[in-house]
Structure 1
Amino acid sequence: MIKVLVVDDQQLVRMGLRMLFDHAPDVEIVGEAGNGAEAVRLAGRSAPDVVLMDLRMPGTDGITATRLILAARPATRVVALTTFDDDEHLYGALAAGACGLLVKDTPPAEVLDAVRRAVAGESPFSRGALDRLVTQAVEARSASDGPAEAPLPNITPRERQVLGLLGVGLSNKEIADRLHMGVTTVKTHVASLMTKTGRDNRIRLAVLAVLAGVTAD
């Protein structure tokens, strides 16, 4: 059973997520918090596997709460929930240790899939969140007069295929099915890509794939 803590300052959002997970046989809601400070307390008491974390909340925000929760429980997986006007918090959430980013209008089935992928060690993200991260990266490069296209290190053709599929948000299993290889082999390629590129999670790899023009062939 996957234990989930839901954190959002809007009760309606928390209710919607509870209704979604109540119908999932492998997920249990172990707590709900309306602010970051409460989330930190509940995480210490309920030991969730996954925290769905709103980023903008009064008092202790989601980024600070993420940092505090992971400092005490490093194995916890935090998936950030973001709105379309929340761009300034996206990289902050990743820096704090969030493993995934979902916009709040993500379809329910994808939210449930994201929780399962997070527990499996992946970094689920909404396409909308990725697009905004890419836009931020392009703007930052333009402001610093850096290259418009991200340089790629010496990666193998197979790693390039995996990188392209990461760029459209496919899971390890979906990549394995697409490329006719085992899931363990995909994990090995992803780990190699992280080492070679210096990107520490799949979301940063996905941003790199888009910036470098690596397509999902």
Structure 2
Amino acid sequence: MIRVLIADDQTIVRQGLRMMLEQFDIIQVVGEATNGEEALKCCELWQPHLILMDIRMPGMDGVEATKRIKQVYPQTNILILTTFTDDQYIFEALQHGASGYPLKDVTPDKLVEAIQIAQEGGAIIHPQVASKMIHQMKDWQSPIQQEKDERVAMLTERELEILQYLGQGLSNQEIAEKVYITQGTVKNHISSLLQKLECRDRTQLALFAVKNHLL
């Protein structure tokens, strides 16, 4: 059973998400929050495994809430609920430890799948939003910053391949099927990537792939 907290300032959105998720036996909605401050307090009260976090809320928004929650409750996964118009905030939220960003028009089955992937340590990066992020990051970066990180040269061909798939948001099982190796071998490669690139988790690896134009 995955314990889920819903954080959104719109009542109708929270109720809709609750009704959607409660159709699935593996999900338990433990509570709701109307902004980031309430979400932080709810983490102490209900200890959710995962938070569905709206990015734009009054008071403390989803970006700041993600930062604070991951500092205090690092094991709590956070999925940012977003639209295509929110892409300017997405990169910052991911940097603070969010596990990805399903779009608000996602189907119930896909949302639950995203929750499961996040719980398994995966990153949910919508391809169309990722493409917008890449273009936006090019605008943010100076010519020097656009050069690839020197640590890229340390990676093996297989590690580069797996890093590219991580950047696309694929799960261990999907990566294993793509490159014809076991999930255990994929995990070993990811552990090596985390160490070589000094990244905290899979989401940071995915960001590294985007920032270094590996997609």
TM-score range, shorter chain: 0.7 to 0.9
8 Å Cα contact 1:3-1:50 kept in structure 2: yes
C-alpha change, 1:93 and 1:175, in structure 2 (3 Å) is same
C-alpha change, 1:159 and 1:130, in structure 2 (3 Å) is same
Deviates more, 1:97-106 or 1:1-10: 97-106
Partner of 1:91: 91
Task: Give the SS at the match of 2:130.
Answer: helix
C-alpha change, 1:157 and 1:80, in structure 2 (3 Å) is same
TM-superposed deviation, 1:83: 2.2
Return the TM-score normalized by structure 2. 0.87
Return the TM-score normalized by structure 1. 0.86
Amino acid at match of 1:79: L
Q: Give the whole-Å Cα distance in 2 for the aligned partners of 1:200 and 1:129.
A: 23
Deviation string, structure 1 residues 52-78 (Cα, Å, up to 9, x no partner) = 111110111112222332333221111
- For structure 2, the residue ranges without an aligned partner over 5 or more in a row are none
Task: Give the SS at the match of 1:165.
Answer: helix
Deviation string, structure 1 residues 26-65 (Cα, Å, up to 9, x no partner) = 1110011111122122221111000011111011111222
Partner of 1:21: 21
Partner of 2:109: 109
* 1:35 paired to 2:32: no
- Between the two proteins, the alignment pairs up a number of residues equal to 213
8 Å Cα contact 2:7-2:32 kept in structure 1: yes
C-alpha change, 1:211 and 1:75, in structure 2 (3 Å) is closer
- For structure 1, the residue ranges without an aligned partner over 5 or more in a row are none
What value does the CA root-mean-square deviation take over the aligned residues? 2.2
C-alpha change, 1:117 and 1:82, in structure 2 (3 Å) is same
8 Å Cα contact 1:149-1:211 kept in structure 2: no
Query: Identity of paired residues, percent?
Result: 38
C-alpha change, 1:123 and 1:11, in structure 2 (3 Å) is same
